[in-house]
C-alpha cells in the first residue's frame, strides 16, 4: 500500500511540474489556465494519496479527501471568474495570444 501512495505522490509531482512548465511556455490564456488547473489537480491527487497514508482505522480520518473537495470547489469558482475575464478580453479579437496583450508596457 505504501508503494501505491509513493507512486501516486510521484505522479502528482510530475503533474505539478508539467503544469508549472506549461504555464511558463504556453502563450494562450486558456491553455495557461488549463495548466493551472493541472497544478491544482496535482495537489488534489497528492492530498488523496496522503490521506490513504494517514488513514487511521479507529478514527476514519478523511481530512485529505475533504481538503481535496474544498480545492475542487475553489477551482470551480476560479474557472467561473477566469473564463469570464478571458471572454471579456477577447470579445472583439480574432487571435488570442498573451504576447499581444501589452498595452500597459507601451
Partner 1 sequence: MILALQSTLEAGHLQALDRSLMIALAPVVILTIAVLVLLLVDYFGRKHPGPQGGISLQNASTITIASTVLALLGTLGTWGWLNTLPNGPSQGLFPSMIPSASAARWDFAPAFVVDHFFLFVCLLVCVVVIITSLNFIPFLQRKERYHAELFPLLLLSAIGMMLITGSRDLITTFMSLELLSLPLYVMCGLNDKNRLNKESSLKYFLMGAFASGFFVFGAALIYGMAGHLNYTVIQNMIAETAQSVDPVMLIGIGLVGVGIAFKLGMVPFHAWVPDVYQGAPTPVTAFMATGVKVAMFAAATRIVLECLPGLQAELWRDALVLFACLSMLVGNLFALHQMSAKRLLAFSAIAHTGYLALGMVSGTPASGSAVLFYLAGYTFASLGAFLLITWMAPDGQDDVFLDQMHELWQKAPKAAICLTILLLSMGGFPLTAGFFGKFVVFKEAWLAGLSSIVIFALLNSAVSFYYYLRFVIAMYMTPAVPGEASLNPRQMPGGYVFSMVMTVGLTIILGVLPQLLLGALDLTNLGS
30 near partner 1, rule: CB under 8 A: no
89 near partner 1, rule: CB under 8 A: yes
Q: Among 60, 94, 95, 99, which residue interacts with partner 1 (rule: CB under 8 A)?
A: 60
What residues numbered 5-24 form the site for partner 1, per CB under 8 A? Answer: 9, 12, 16, 19-20, 23
Q: How far is CA 104 from CA 32, 33, 99, 101, in A?
A: 20, 21, 12, 8
CB atoms near residue 91 (< 10 Å): 7
3-state SS, 49-94, equals: HHHHHHCCCCCCCCHHHHHHHHHHHHHHHHHHHHHHHHHHHCCCCC
- Interface residues with partner 1 (CB under 8 A) are 9, 12, 16, 19-20, 23, 29, 32-33, 36, 39-40, 42-44, 46-47, 49-50, 53-54, 56, 59-61, 63-64, 67, 70-71, 74, 77-78, 81-82, 84-86, 88-89, 98, 101-105
Amino acid at each position: 500500500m505504501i508503494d501505491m501512495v509513493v507512486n501516486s505522490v510521484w505522479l502528482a509531482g510530475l503533474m505539478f511540474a508539467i503544469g508549472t512548465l506549461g504555464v511558463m511556455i504556453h502563450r494562450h490564456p486558456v491553455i495557461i489556465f488549463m495548466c493551472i488547473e493541472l497544478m491544482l489537480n496535482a495537489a488534489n491527487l497528492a492530498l488523496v494519496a496522503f490521506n490513504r497514508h494517514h488513514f487511521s482505522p479507529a478514527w476514519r480520518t478523511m481530512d485529505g479527501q475533504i481538503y481535496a473537495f474544498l480545492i475542487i470547489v475553489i477551482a470551480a469558482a476560479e474557472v467561473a471568474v477566469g473564463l469570464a475575464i478571458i471572454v471579456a478580453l477577447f470579445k472583439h479579437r480574432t487571435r488570442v495570444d498573451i504576447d499581444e496583450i501589452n498595452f500597459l508596457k507601451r
